[in-house]
Every structure is written in structure tokens, then in C-alpha cells.
Amino acid sequence: MQRHILLIDDEEDIREVVALSLETVAGWRVTSAGSGREGIELARKAMPDAVLLDVMMPGQDGPATLRLLRSDEITARIPVIFLTAKVQSIERERLQGAGAAGFLAKPFNPMTLANEVSEILGWQPSAKE
Amino acid sequence: MSSADELQEKLQDLWKKALPLMLRRLNSIERAHKAIVGGALNDAMKAEAAQEAHKLAGSLGVFGLSGGSESALEIERILSSTDRLSTNDVANLGEHLQRLGRDINSGT
């Protein structure tokens, strides 16, 4: 089954590496958005299997974007994983309280990213056919 | 070709494409460092350099440049401090900046 991931991150190079990693290693489809606002629109239209969401973005940041996704009945059940450089326990507690399924630390390993996402979401380990 | 080899090859292509952006970020931090040494650093320049260091830490790490990523994190920590920078902070900043530049250029 080909998974569909929506990535929301303001840094273009990170978006490209995540897409390359998930498409090449796991064969997933990746849609990217450069802002929280754009990501919410894409989530409503595309209904991805999961969202990878950067915490620190200018304007509408990750937690604010998650709140909006959760408050919309169309997107409320889409699992969201935060991408964050700040993985201290206080930060984790704050973000978990916002309803995230889990966290991925930046920088991540492009080779293992798909399996880390699968592990957090309880999906079968990913390997491209 | 295995997916690991394929990914590595594509990452190298992507790195070449991303290099000008990495160098611009490095340049922003170098400007801030020069301003610190010259006593001309302002808050906006300091905040911008800290932000660029934060971005470099994430980007360099995913491209496998872990040394540069660690130096960028340390630079971000130094520049994000609200305390006045000590002589030791400035020296550390200079050392990490050199390491950062070496790592970025070695990745080409």
C-alpha cells in the first residue's frame, strides 16, 4: 500500500530531503507545503495518511497549525508527527499536549526516516517494492 | 542499485543544489562574527545569525555532515544567549565557525 505523507516545513532543503527519503526508501508519495496555512489547505484537499509538521516556522508555527488541523472535522483525525530540533522533555510534554502522535528529531537520518515514521504510527515497517 | 545507494546518489545531487543556500547561511553567521569582533553587532543581526545557525544544524545533519551540524547548534546556543557575550564565547564562536566552514566546503 502506497502511503501518502504531507510534509509542512518552511525550509525548502529539508522538504526536498524528506521527500527524497520517503519516496526512494519506502516508495511513499509525499506532498509538501512551505507554511502552516498552505499545509492546512492541502490536508483538507488531499487527506494524507499522516502529516510531518515542523515546530518552528515563521508566522503560523507547528503547534498553531496542529490546533487548526484538530479543530477541523475533515482533518481532525489525521495523525501528526512533529519535526523538531528541540527534544527536551518539557518541549515534548508541551507538544504532546497539543495532540501530536510523536516526534522526530532534526536532524534525522534519511535512510531510516520512513521506518521511524512507521514505528510512531504503528504501521508495518516500510520497504520499497 | 539498492535503495540506499540510490538515496545516497540523489542526496549528493541535492547537496550540490543546496550548497549556495548553505553558503549564504554561513555568510550570515560570518558577518555577525565580524560585527562582534568589531563591536558592531546589533540585535537584529544576532537574531538572524542564530536563526541561520539553527537551520544549518538541521540541514547539515540530514546531509550527513554531523560535525558541522554540531558546530551550528553550538553557534545557535551562543548567539541565542541573552547575556553579554564573554571573551570565551567569542573565541568558541570563531572556532565553531571555522569548523562549520570546513564541513560545508568538504561536503562539496
- Does A93 or B62 have the greater pLDDT score? B62
The pLDDT value given to residue A80: 97
Structural domain including B17 reads: 3-106
CATH of the domain at B78: 1.20.120
The answer to whether the CB atoms of B18 and A13 lie below 8 A apart is yes
Tell me the domains of chain A and their CATH numbers.
4-25+35-120 (3.40.50.2300)
Main-chain phi, psi angles of A50, to 5 degrees: -160, 160
User: Closest Cα of chain B to A20: distance in Å?
Assistant: 7
Q: What is the ipTM of this complex?
A: 0.84
- Are A110 and A20 a contacting pair, CB within 8 Å? yes
User: By C-alpha distance, which of A45, A41, A15 is closest to A30?
Assistant: A15
- A109 has pLDDT over 90: yes
Confidence of residue A126 (pLDDT cuts 50, 70, 90): low
The pLDDT value given to residue A86: 65
Q: Which residue does chain B place closest to A127, by CA atoms?
A: B3
Secondary structure string (H, E, C) spanning A48-102? CCEEEEECCCCCCCHHHHHHHHHHCCCCCCCCEEEEECCCCHHHHHHHHHCCCCE
- A78 has pLDDT over 70: yes
HSE, side-chain direction, 13 A CA sphere, residue A32: 15
Measured at the alpha carbon of residue A98, what is the angle toward residues A93 and A103, in degrees to the nearest 5?
A: 60
The answer to whether the CB atoms of A20 and B55 lie below 8 A apart is no
Three-class SS state of A123:
coil
User: Closest Cα of chain B to A74: distance in Å?
Assistant: 32
Measured at the alpha carbon of residue B51, what is the angle toward residues B88 and B96, in degrees to the nearest 5?
A: 35
Residue entry with cell 568558541: B92
Number of separate domains in chain B: 1
Nearest by CB to B11, which of A12, A20, A56?
A20
Rg of the Cα atoms in chain A = 13
Q: pLDDT per residue over B38-54, tens digit each?
A: 999 899 999 999 999 99
The pLDDT value given to residue A85: 78
What pTM was estimated for this model as a whole? Answer: 0.89
- Are B55 and A11 a contacting pair, CB within 8 Å? yes
The answer to whether the CB atoms of A111 and B63 lie below 8 A apart is no
Residue entry with cell 510512531: A120
- For chain B, positions 2-41, list CB contacts with chain A under 8 A: 3-4, 6-7, 10-11, 14, 17-18, 21
The pLDDT value given to residue A63: 92
User: Closest Cα of chain B to A122: distance in Å?
Assistant: 23
